[in-house]
Amino acid sequence: MGIVNDLMDDGLGALSHNVITARVETLINWARSRSSWPANFGLACCAIEMMATGGAHYDISRFGMEVFRASPRQADIMIVAGRLSQKMAPVLRQVYDQMMEPKWVISMGVCASSGGMFNNYALVQGVDQVVPVDVYAPGCPPSPETLLHAIETLHQHIEDGQILRRRSETGAGANVHVREIPSSGQPVPVLLGNR
């Protein structure tokens, strides 16, 4: 309100101490990191710790993330919390593909990061076999503090712009494009893929 009064009194001259110049990208990254909405992808025990992080004690809402979006189309971050079984892997990929750019993935827990203690036929040994992961949070399950650290690491990377830079270098993950298949007259599904 002070600024508004100053403006009304002195016009644009009143703004002399209140101007910050920055790149638009910085502003966008600043905003993105502080209101990234997670997509609901709790699988097993880590999901319980993820919910605990959303609870009153650890309060993920401090970081703007308490709205766990049910629809992946409305989400930015997918926290894969728990062990990914072979049956669930296509579902994970489908949900990831539905998310809009820019999107990030936190792999929460050792089972999501590497298969954990279950090195067997039933689990995918690390969700990075299926989706590109940005931050890995170790623990079995990671305590909410670990998850918050992972989230803050991701936020830091978003703010620095490192992620988009890194991805354009390696060509991984964040660039989803649609590829047209030569039509054979039959109805063809739309393929979503990476370069």
Partner 1 sequence: MSAADVTGDDRPEVDDAPAERYGCLVEERLGQVVLHAPRDGYLAAAKAITDDGFTMCVDLTAADYLGHPGRRLPDGVRAERFEVVVNFLDMAAARRVRVRVQVPADDPTLPTLFDLHPGTEAMEREVFDMFGITFTDHPDMTRILMPEDWEGHPLRKDYAVGSIPVQFKGTN
Partner 2 sequence: MVVRTSEGEQELKPRSQVGAAELLREVGAVLRMSETEAAQLGDLSATGDADLDSDQTMIINMGPQHPSTHGVLRLMLELEGETVLRCKPIIGYLHTGMEKTGEQLTYFQGGTNVTRMDYLSPFFNELVFSMATEKLLGIDGDIPDRATWIRMLMCELNRMASHLLFLATNGMDLGAVSMMIYGWREREEVLRFFQKVTGLRMNHNYIRPGGVAADLPPGWRDDVLALLDLLPERLAEYDTLMTGQPIWRDRLQGVGQITPTEAIALGATGPVLRSTGVEWDLRRGQPYLRYPEVEFDVVVGSYGDAFDRYAIRLNEVRESMRIVRQVLDLMPAGDYRIQDKKVTPPPRARIDESMEALIHHFKIFTEGFKVPEGEVYMAIESPRGELGCYIASDGSAKPYRMHVRGPSFVNIQCLPHMMRGGLVADAVAVISSVDPVLGDVDR
Minimum distance from CB of 115 to partner 2 (Å)? Answer: 10
CA distances from 108 to 42, 146, 162 (A): 9, 9, 20
- The 74-113 contact track toward partner 1, x by CB under 8 A, reads ------------xx--------------------------
Contact predicate 192/176, CB 8 Å: yes
Which residues within the stretch 151-170 sit at the binding site for partner 2 (CB under 8 A)? none
- Per the rule left: phi > 0, alpha: psi between -120 and 50, beta: everything else, 166 is alpha
Establish whether the linkage from the previous residue to 102 is cis, with ω within 30° of 0: yes
Cα torsion at 33, 36, 40, 43 (round to 10°)? Answer: 0
Could you tell which of partner 1, partner 2, none binds residue 91, using a CB distance below 5 to 8 A set by kind?
partner 2
Q: Cα–Cα distance between 79 and 95 in angstroms, integer?
A: 12
Binding mask 53-82 for partner 2 (x = CB under 8 A): -xxxx----------x-x-----------x
Distance CA 185, CA 102 (A): 34
Query: 70 touches which of partner 1, partner 2, none (CB within 5 to 8 A by kind)?
Result: partner 2
Closer to partner 2 by CB, 94 or 168: give it: 94
125 binds, among partner 1, partner 2, none (CB under 5 to 8 A by kind): partner 1
Q: Is 50 helix (H, G, I), strand (E, B) or coil?
A: helix
Residues that bind partner 2 (CB under 8 A): 40-45, 47-49, 51-52, 54-57, 68, 70, 82-83, 85-88, 90-91, 93-95, 97, 117-118, 120-123, 140-141, 143, 189, 191-193
